[in-house]
A and B are shown apart, each in its own frame.
Chain A
Amino acid sequence: MQNRLLASIASLAIASIALAQGSLKIVSSLPRTGSANAQTTSMVNGIKMAIDEVGGKVDGMAIEYEDMDDASPQRGNWDPAVEAQNANKALADEKVIGYIGTYNSGAAKISMPVLNKAGLVMISPGNTYPGLTKPGTGEANEPRIYRPSGKINYFRVVPTDDLQGTVAADWTKEMGCKTVYLLDDRELYGKGIADVFEKHAKEIGLKVLGREGIDSKASNYKALANKIKAAKPDLVYYGGTTQTNAGQIAKDLRSVGVEAKFMVPDGCFEKAFIEAAGAANLNGKTFVTFGGLPADQLTGRGAEFRKAYMAKYNTDPEAYALYGYECGRVLLDAIKRAKTKDRAAILAAVAATKDFDGALGTWSFDANGDTTSKIMSGQTVENGDFKFVKVLGK
């Protein structure tokens, strides 16, 4: 008992010394255990670079950083219990003034309401599910359920999924296509993107020849492909993923002889899509939008970041490194403007971020907490691999 008392007095003393010296702490909650570790390493490298850039100090206050894992070995993936634990741990430590995370949108759903109640700012380098911030894009009660306090404490530096629909429609027009045939998998992600695509396509004068929700478990789509062939569109857009049979659709379009181009969102931006579809069915005629840029396409501050990153880590930064870096910088910038260790003041400063000189160009946080940046990359498939074509959404 006495020991414990002593220990707590000691830790209190240490804490107060730290406070006296003006030390702040940023934590990140990202999946370390399992398949997403590579992305997490990139994001953490980015955050560390942002902190190093300011010499680990803002306004005389030292910045500490802790890299927390939100995955568990049992799941090999993010774990709701661990994510909740991380959020509570961050709240309990009064030095913590910012929470960077999460990588998975599902994990954000867990920690968002917890941090929201306490008013701790949260910035995500990886969540793309629109429903986390945008009313009307997800379930009826989203994003309200993530904001029990009624205020916004959650921000993200990545463009959301639904923006891919807008960017894809613009790209379709740029390629000289005039008519499109739209398909979706009738799921939240795929249908959401296709809806946005359709709306924007009509606004910019693309003709939508047809719109179909497909059965993603069907054995083939030859009958549908016959119908599309008769409609003669310039491009077929599928709002769906590898798992909802994008590969089979590509295959059947080619097997019945549809000549149109084929475009899909980033749910298909994975090797498994090319493997499922068969490279020969995709080569040269397939286009993929993806929220991120290859390192060699970065300009301005992004290019500086790439140079520094390569010098330090000896490898090109992945898209996620850049988002990690952006999270760190925008948080540090807010601390600098707030000039205090107060969580509420820093939250207000983050929310007020405007015309931020970021690595992905100049952007602001909008009223929902989303970045105004829409920068994405357009990829195509060549020789059985993805190949960067151009920067989209500028």
Chain B
Amino acid sequence: MHILHHLAAAVPLALAASTDAPEAASWVDPLLQQLVTGLSNGMIIALIAIGYTMVYGIIELINFAHGDLCTLGAFLALTIAGALGVEAWGGLGGASGVVILLLASAVFCAGLNWTIDYVVYRPLRNAPKLTLLVSAIGCSFILVNVALFWGGLPMGVFGGGVAAAAPKDFPGLVSDDNLLPAAWHVTFTASDLLVVSVTLPLMVALTVLVRYTKLGKAMRAVAQNPTAASLMGIDVDRVIGSTFLIGGALGGFASVIYALYNNTISFQMGYRTGMDAFTAAVLGGIGSMPGAVVGGLVIGLVRALSDGYLEARWTNSVVFGILILTLVFRPSGLLGAKLRDKV
């Protein structure tokens, strides 16, 4: 903490000193602010991107339903928050409310993702990849409509369900108050802290799981060659199921962080967020977990800087322009493995 404090203080100072002009801070502070915003957004995208990349890595399916899975996670969180009256808890109670929502959504999304795999994708394991892809799009539509129906339930948190399609306000359980001293001119809010403090440990835990556990080893084996893996005695379906379970849980965490950071959820939120996350996964190299994280952060930062320094209307063009350029020069993405020859 101590080091971090000094470091954060030193960066603007160093920048200000190097330009040697009194108005230096006038451009440094907004830039730092945009970087904070970009990183927070990027981390949420990264967490969802992992769900895409894990599934792709193991069964070469772009699971289009993943973004919409997160939508349902957020709707569950809002329903629980309303039922328990979490908003009024305050203080430490508020923090425990956040933990309850995170866990509930993670468990729910993990279970739902596993179920979707079991019911829809598993029977299609040997079907052509296109069949699987179209099924994923079908699942996406189903989940969107479930969310639309859910938002129309006559509950207080959904505004009585009068306007099912309208965006829903998510209670601000995590404050937007600045945690940094006012003299720094840069705000880092509790919700930014929440994003970092939930996302980073999850990413570390996932890396440990994939690299150092038996399940992780099995996942890597199945990703490399399912037939060989099954010959070695690995229960391939179980490993794939676990992948969906883990990817879904990360999506569940991401959905609650998304909801707490943006304070709005809607039945369509998964479409755009999923699109960003999918783009991040491709940018970073689909199939690569560090790639998904890097891709997510890059997209978050590019979005923030484009909104801040270009015009907001160009942001999507900038993001996809960068994606195209990256793929032209590095077809397997920023951190993607060299394309494997599948003989």
Residues of A bordering B, CB below 8 Å:
186, 212-215, 217-224, 226-227, 230, 242-243, 245, 247-248, 251, 254-257, 270-272, 275-278
Contacts and interface: CB of A to CB of B under 8 A. Distances in A.
Given A227-B308, A242-B166, A217 B271 contact: yes
Contacts of B307: 221, 223-224, 227
Contacts of B187: 256-257
B162 A271 contact: yes
Contacts of A230: 30
Contacts of B191: 255
Interface of B: 30, 33-34, 37-38, 40-41, 44, 159, 162-163, 165-169, 172, 176, 187, 189, 191, 258, 261-264, 268-269, 271-273, 276, 303-305, 307-308, 311-313, 315-316
Given A213-B311, A223-B38, A256-B187, A276 B167 contact: yes
Contacts of A223: 34, 37-38, 41, 303-305, 307-308
Given A243-B166, A272-B162, A226 B264 contact: no
B34 A248 contact: no
A277 B34 CA distance: 23
Contacts of A227: 30, 34, 307-308
Given A215-B312, A226-B308, A255 B263 contact: yes
A323 B316 CA distance: 43
Contacts of B33: 226
B330 to A, nearest CB: 26
A223 B264 CA distance: 16
B168 A222 contact: no
- The 8 A-B pairs at the shortest CB distance, nearest first, are namely A223-B307, A272-B166, A223-B304, A213-B313, A275-B159, A276-B167, A255-B176, A272-B163
Given A215-B312, A221-B312, 10 more contacts: A212-B311, A215-B313, A219-B262, A219-B269, A219-B276, A221-B307, A224-B312, A242-B166, A272-B163, A276-B169
7 contacts: A213-B311, A222-B37, A224-B312, A226-B34, A251-B262, A276-B167, A278-B169
B174 to A, nearest CB: 11
Contacts of B261: 220
A288 B290 CA distance: 47
B264 A251 contact: yes
Contacts of A247: 167, 169, 264
Contacts of B311: 212-213
Contact of A278 (B37, B172, B189, B303): B172
B247 to A, nearest CB: 20
A281 to B, nearest CB: 9
A214 B312 contact: yes
B273 A219 contact: yes
A218 B166 contact: no
Contact of B169 (A220, A255, A275): A275
